[in-house]
Chain A
């Protein structure tokens, strides 16, 4: 009985909860994005569907469900089908190791408290980096299989961009890993509970991580692969209906993933803000707040900055971010030693 409980029922329940929450938060994100940017741009945003337009995301989802599924005549059909799947699955898989809180008993339902991550791998961070790299195949194949020029250019841009920016992103995380001395997501948070949040000693790493995270998720000002004004809609120009929705979902899921990593690695995970522990706010709320802050940065950037050009983006990635990240690692390593 206990065996089934611990090994099958609890993980299944946790997976269901996490996936539902992630997909719902994508809906919330689309709404929040429209509203936040709307307020920055002195307008109201969606107002028609439901009170303050709250039901807009649901209307959007229904619309996408009912859209015609168009496949270009010259498209490579199998790859064309495969690409959205390849984009969405890795994005969701990465949530496997994200610890949303310390431990929980599900309000006393369980006898033994269980971790608030689906699985607490001891190489959690490595797992995330590995899995998230697969997502690029979705974009690349989607752009290529459409057999159309704008998606092809978009896919090429994004392949170059994501490959280049994964390097500084990984390098930026190495600093905190050196300080925490572990690759486990949970371990990193626990290491921060003893000292200060890594955002303070690793401030440059945090900045580089933020910039690279924006580039990795193809968001403004690094949204070249889908630059509307240049490439119409980039790699997903030819996609419609649910396939398009999958790419859309993957983009937002990826945003949530990188925010979760930032929260765990730099912002102390579920730990309360120092000095505010007496409020007894549940760990998961802290986690959500920190993630929300990071996600807000995404929207803020989008409302403020123009877009980089392709060659300029590459130049910044290779000539600026990577050297700075390397220096950061050396300095951290010296201090840790």
Chain B
């Protein structure tokens, strides 16, 4: 008399909480997920192919559009890759300023994550609070680079321009207000019963599985793995500054939430130290106008807000652009965690898990 059927539900590419154009093919038994298949590529622009016909400097613009909420990190990773192959040393002032800017970028990316993650779970107010602070940071980016989202910051051998004078006061203001604002978010969420119910024991992944799946960044550290590229292979000024790696053992969405909040606090510490210890001197070394790199290959990775962002660059030594540029986007790899995390949970948890993975489709699809 009664028969039950598996519903196939198409979530996305137009859906309020798939953060762009992610499409999920869900198989539902009632509201419980029995199968899940991510379909990606709706935002594929062929960045890697385009880079082959661009010069090294032009390809910098392409990196902006990977993870477009943290383009500073993408710029840094790319420029450092060039510098590694070119074997060039960057002045200390540039190193400190790059560190500072990248951490501000991490703050802005994490704020966007917090805003959307909270909104997905239904906490609307946090969204607007977090956006208020993010605006503050974007104003600083505008001050330095002229762009708010697509920054195209940094150049081979240092910075494009010297640091603007008004920036210091702006950052000091931000350092003053931000801890209080962070406390506001925490007051709304951290001990909130509903928030805990919605995030604890949701999207659980063990440390072994996380490593095997190649997850990185806060998603990996939320499973108790102590891996942060900034600590493991310090680049720029990270080795000289005093900060802690944020790790939690919960393995669930709540643990990853705590990791990212702690990262925001640590980022603020880094920003403050980098600002205080900003060396005097040159902001760039002498570099050729038209860049040519030696024939060879390098893989260089940095800790982007989403995880390990790697660039694999091959130069044929002849051209003025990359022979091949491969981007290892953390969101692309982290997306593989979605299926093992979500199967067995309910539809409402899928949005929480997409939020906790913090995927940006610009980087997934490239």
In the complex, A touching B (Cβ < 8 A): yes
| Residue contact B346 to A308, C-beta cutoff 8 Å | no
Complex alpha-carbon distance, A200 and B124, angstroms: 32
Contact call A153/B122, Cβ cutoff below 8 A: no
CA distance A68 to B253 in the complex (A): 42
Query: When the two chains form their complex, are residues B346 and A310 in contact, meaning their CB atoms are under 8 A apart?
Result: yes
B129 contacts A42, C-beta separation under 8 Å: yes
A-side residues, CB < 8 A to B, are 37, 40-43, 149-150, 153, 157, 220-221, 223-224, 227-232, 302-312
Contact with A along B157-199 (1 / 0, CB 8 A): 0000000000000000000000000000000110010110110
B85 to chain A, nearest CB (A): 44
In the assembly, what is the distance between CA of A231 and CA of B314, in Å? Answer: 45
Nearest CB on B from A317, distance (A): 14
Residue of A nearest to B17 (CB): A229
Collect the chain B residues with CB atoms within 8 Å of residue A43's CB.
128
> Is B245 in contact with chain A by the CB < 8 A criterion?
no
Contacts of B10 in A (CB 8 A): 149
Binds A, one of B147-155, B259-267, B347-355: B347-355
A307 near B198 with CB under 8 A, answer: yes
Is there contact, CB below 8 Å, between B351 and A303?
A: no
Please tell me if the beta carbons of B125 and A40 are within 8 angstroms of each other in the complex. Answer: yes
Chain A CB within 8 A of B213 CB: no
For the complex formed, measure the closest distance between the CB of A220 and the CB atoms of chain B, giving whole angstroms: 6
Q: How far is the CA of A42 from the CA of B10 in the complex (A)?
A: 36
- A43 vs B124: C-alpha distance when bound (angstroms): 13
**When chains A and B are docked, how far (Å) is the Cα of A146 from the Cα of B56?**
53
Residues of A within 8 A of B295 (CB): none
Bound-state Cα–Cα, A43 to B130, Å:
13
Q: For the complex, is B146 an interface residue (Cβ under 8 Å from A)?
A: no
The listed residue (A149, A232, A302, A312) touching B7 by CB distance below 8 A is: A149
Whether B198 contacts A302 by the Cβ 8 Å rule is no
Q: Contact flags (1/0) for B336-356 with A, using CB distance below 8 Å? A: 000000000011111100000
- A–B Cβ pairs within 8 angstroms, 30 of them: A37-B124, A40-B125, A41-B125, A41-B128, A42-B128, A153-B347, A220-B122, A220-B124, A221-B194, A229-B121, A229-B122, A230-B17, A230-B348, A232-B15, A302-B124, A305-B123, A305-B192, A306-B121, A306-B122, A306-B189, A307-B123, A307-B198, A308-B194, A308-B197, A308-B198, A309-B197, A309-B348, A311-B346, A312-B197, A312-B198
Instruction: Tell me if B119 is interfacial: C-beta within 8 Å of chain A.
Output: yes
Name the A residues within 8 Å of B111 (CB-CB): none
In the complex formed, the residue of A with least CB distance to B194 is A306
B interface: dominant SS: helix
- Give the docked Cα–Cα distance between A65 and B233 (Å): 62
Instruction: Tell me whether A227 and B31 are in contact in the complex, defined as CB-CB below 8 angstroms, given that A42-B129, A149-B9, A308-B198 are known contacts.
Output: no
B residues in contact with A302, CB < 8 Å = 124
In terms of DSSP, what is the predominant structure of the interface of chain A? helix
Find out whether the CB atom of A305 lies under 8 angstroms from the CB atom of B9.
no
Establish whether residues B346 and A41, one from each chain, have CB atoms under 8 Å apart when the complex forms. no
**Given known A149-B9, A306-B194, contact A42–B132 (CB-CB < 8 A):** yes
Whether the Cβ atoms of A227 and B122 lie closer than 8 Å is yes
Add 4 more A-B contacts to A37-B125, A42-B129, A304-B188 (CB < 8 A): A149-B10, A220-B122, A221-B122, A223-B122
Choose one: A37, A153, A309; the contact of B198 (CB below 8 Å). A309
Alpha-carbon distance A163/B157, docked complex (angstroms): 67
> When the two chains form their complex, are residues A41 and B124 in contact, meaning their CB atoms are under 8 A apart?
yes
**Once bound together, how far apart are the Cα atoms of A311 and B347, in whole Å?**
11
Taken together as a complex, chains A and B put the C-alpha atoms of A308 and B194 apart, in Å, by 6
Q: Is B120 an interface residue, CB under 8 A from the partner?
A: yes
Bound together, the chains give a CA A141 to CA B170 distance in angstroms of: 56
CA distance in complex: A299, B114 (Å): 22
CA distance A157 to B192 in the complex (A): 24
Please tell me if the beta carbons of B194 and A229 are within 8 angstroms of each other in the complex: no
Contact of B122 among A40, A149, A232, A307 (CB under 8 A): A307
B31 touches A307 (CB 8 A): no
Contact status B7-A230, CB under 8 Å: no
B contact residues around A41 at 8 Å (CB): 124-125, 128-129
CA distance A304 to B17 in the complex (A): 20
B87 CB-CB contact with A under 8 Å: no
B16 within 8 A of A: yes
Chain B residues with CB under 8 Å of A308's CB are 194, 197-198
> Whole-angstrom distance from the CB of B359 to the nearest CB of chain A?
15
Question: Residues of B contacting A150 with CB < 8 Å?
Answer: 9
Q: B16 — which chain A residues lie within 8 A by C-beta?
A: 228-229, 232
Question: Is A153's CB under 8 angstroms from B348's CB?
Answer: no
Shortest Cβ gap from A5 to chain B (Å): 51
CA distance A223 to B194 in the complex (A): 13
- A-chain residues with CB within 8 Å of residue B189 when the two chains form the complex: 306
How many Å lie between the Cα of A305 and that of B119 in the bound state? 10
The reply to whether the CB of B118 lies closer than 8 angstroms to some CB of chain A is yes
Residues in chain A near residue B120, CB distance under 8 A: 229
Q: Which residues of A lie under 8 Å from residue B197 when comparing CB positions? A: 308-309, 312
Smallest CB separation, B191 vs chain A (Å): 12
A309/B349 in contact, CB under 8 A: yes
Residues of chain B from 194 to 211 with CB closer than 8 A to chain A in the complex: 194-195, 197-198
When the two chains form the complex, which single residue of B9, B15, B121, B350 contacts A307, counting CB atoms closer than 8 Å? B121
- Name B119's contact: one of A153, A229, A232 (CB within 8 Å): A229
What is the 8 Å Cβ interface bit string for chain B, positions 1-23, against chain A (1 contact, 0 not)?
00000010110000111000000
Q: Which residues of A contact B194 (CB under 8 A)?
A: 221, 305-308
